[in-house]
């Protein structure tokens, strides 16, 4: 009950619009509620059960939630231009379905997991779900999808080393589990994956990868890897503090390079547009990676604090 109260409180705060400095008064308004007495544009008029509330930490007004009842409205919803728009529904194809093609064009969602609706600054969303042929739940597979504000696009799938696999080569797959990965949505359809993977010999490992539309999943680092492209690149004398320092320094260098590229483009000093775009994307990915490392460290610290001595 406490979590639900916090979630609904977050909804009330979700669309705060600052009128000036942080210290000044800001207006609050309710953007969603469970009571039928609160009219919410886009959501069913009757009473509804709301959970999995997400408020984007980038962009503006990125409020998302999940409706579990009434059944006819169950699924994930996102707020766009002042109204809520649905983007998942169990048992259907089309805009609310998994968006698979070819022999899988008739596939439908059989379930959508809780806690998975991450938002990008451009309004796209990432979520975990299970999909397969209608009436054949035993053949359904878990995957990660992104909603591009018009339809759902599959990003990753368990038990495949193909285009939707981890991108580590033949035999490397995501394990068959509902929580095989988390997805942090970025701009332009890119998704940062924090995933478990299984090797061709069955050994388990952990992977950070970036999904790029049209290019697939690109591994960034993997626990236990010796490949220089995936390993931490430590050298003699490195310490925990020095590694973190290098990470922060790398982020700062890429941010500086991106700023310089944008300035050069705006001033007409000969910086090509594609070079500026690449520099900005490298800076963004570097920052997102640092955020993931920070989150993992914070989770570890909180776990230690919960331990009873």
pLDDT tens digit string along 33-52? 898 888 889 998 888 898 88
* CA–CA dist 119, 217 (Å, integer): 19
Confidence of residue 57 (pLDDT cuts 50, 70, 90): low
Q: Are 76 and 125 in contact (CB under 8 A)?
A: yes
Mean pLDDT of all residues in 80-84: 88
* pLDDT tops 50 at residue 9: no
Q: How far is CA 76 from CA 30, 97, 128, 268, in A?
A: 19, 12, 11, 44
Tokens 């236990």 map to which residue?
224
* pLDDT tops 60 at residue 27: yes
How does pLDDT run across 147-161, given as a tens digit for each residue? 999 999 999 999 999
* pLDDT tops 80 at residue 300: no
Neighbours of 278 (CB within 10 A): 14
Q: Please, what is the Cα angle at 152 between 147 and 157, to 5 degrees?
A: 105
* pLDDT tops 90 at residue 288: no
Neighbours of 105 (CB within 10 A): 11
Look over the chain and give the mean of its residue pLDDT values, rounded to a whole number: 84
How does pLDDT run across 197-251, given as a tens digit for each residue? 999 999 999 999 999 999 999 999 999 888 888 987 767 676 666 777 878 888 9
Confidence of residue 60 (pLDDT cuts 50, 70, 90): low
* CA–CA dist 247, 249 (Å, integer): 5
Confidence of residue 101 (pLDDT cuts 50, 70, 90): very high
* pLDDT tops 50 at residue 90: yes
Q: What is the pTM of this model?
A: 0.72
**Res 30: pLDDT:** 83
Least confident segment among 55-69, 71-85, 123-137, 249-263: 55-69
How does pLDDT run across 113-143, given as a tens digit for each residue? 876 557 888 889 999 999 999 999 899 999 9
Spans of all domains in the chain = 1-84, 87-233, 240-306
* CA–CA dist 97, 118 (Å, integer): 18
Decide which of 109 and 29 is more confident: 109
- Check residue 295 and give left, alpha or beta (phi > 0: left; psi -120 to 50: alpha): alpha
Confidence of residue 25 (pLDDT cuts 50, 70, 90): low
**Res 26: pLDDT:** 62
Decide which of 17 and 245 is more confident: 245
Share of the chain above pLDDT 70, in %: 84
């Amino acid at each position: 009950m406490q979590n639900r109260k916090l979630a609904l409180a977050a909804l009330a705060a979700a669309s705060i619009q600052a009128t000036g400095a942080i210290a000044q008064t800001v207006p609050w308004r309710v953007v969603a509620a469970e009571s039928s007495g609160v009219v919410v544009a886009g959501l069913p008029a009757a009473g509804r059960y709301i959970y999995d509330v997400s408020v984007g930490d980038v962009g503006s007004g990125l409020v998302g939630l999940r409706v579990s009842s009434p059944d006819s409205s169950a699924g994930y919803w996102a707020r766009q231009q002042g109204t809520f728009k649905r983007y998942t529904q169990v048992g259907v194809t089309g805009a609310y379905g998994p968006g698979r093609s070819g022999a899988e064009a008739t596939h439908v969602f059989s379930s959508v997991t809780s806690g998975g609706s991450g938002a990008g600054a451009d309004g796209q969303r990432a979520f975990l779900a299970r999909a397969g042929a209608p009436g054949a739940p035993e053949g359904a597979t878990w995957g990660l999808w992104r909603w591009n504000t018009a339809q759902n696009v599959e990003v990753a799938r368990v038990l495949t080393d193909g285009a939707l696999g981890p991108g580590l080569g033949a035999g490397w797959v995501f394990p068959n589990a509902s929580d095989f990965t988390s997805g942090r949505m970025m701009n332009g359809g890119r998704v940062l994956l924090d995933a478990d993977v299984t090797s061709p010999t069955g050994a388990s490992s952990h992977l950070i990868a970036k999904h790029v539309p049209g290019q697939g999943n690109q591994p960034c680092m993997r626990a236990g890897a010796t490949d220089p492209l995936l390993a931490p690149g430590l050298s003699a004398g490195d310490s925990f503090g020095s590694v973190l320092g290098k990470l922060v320094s790398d982020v700062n260098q890429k941010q500086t390079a991106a700023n310089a590229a944008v300035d050069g483009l705006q001033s007409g000093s000969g910086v090509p547009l594609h070079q500026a775009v690449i520099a900005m994307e490298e800076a963004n990915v570097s920052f997102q990676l640092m955020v993931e490392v920070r989150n993992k460290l914070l989770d570890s610290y909180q776990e230690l604090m919960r331990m009873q001595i």
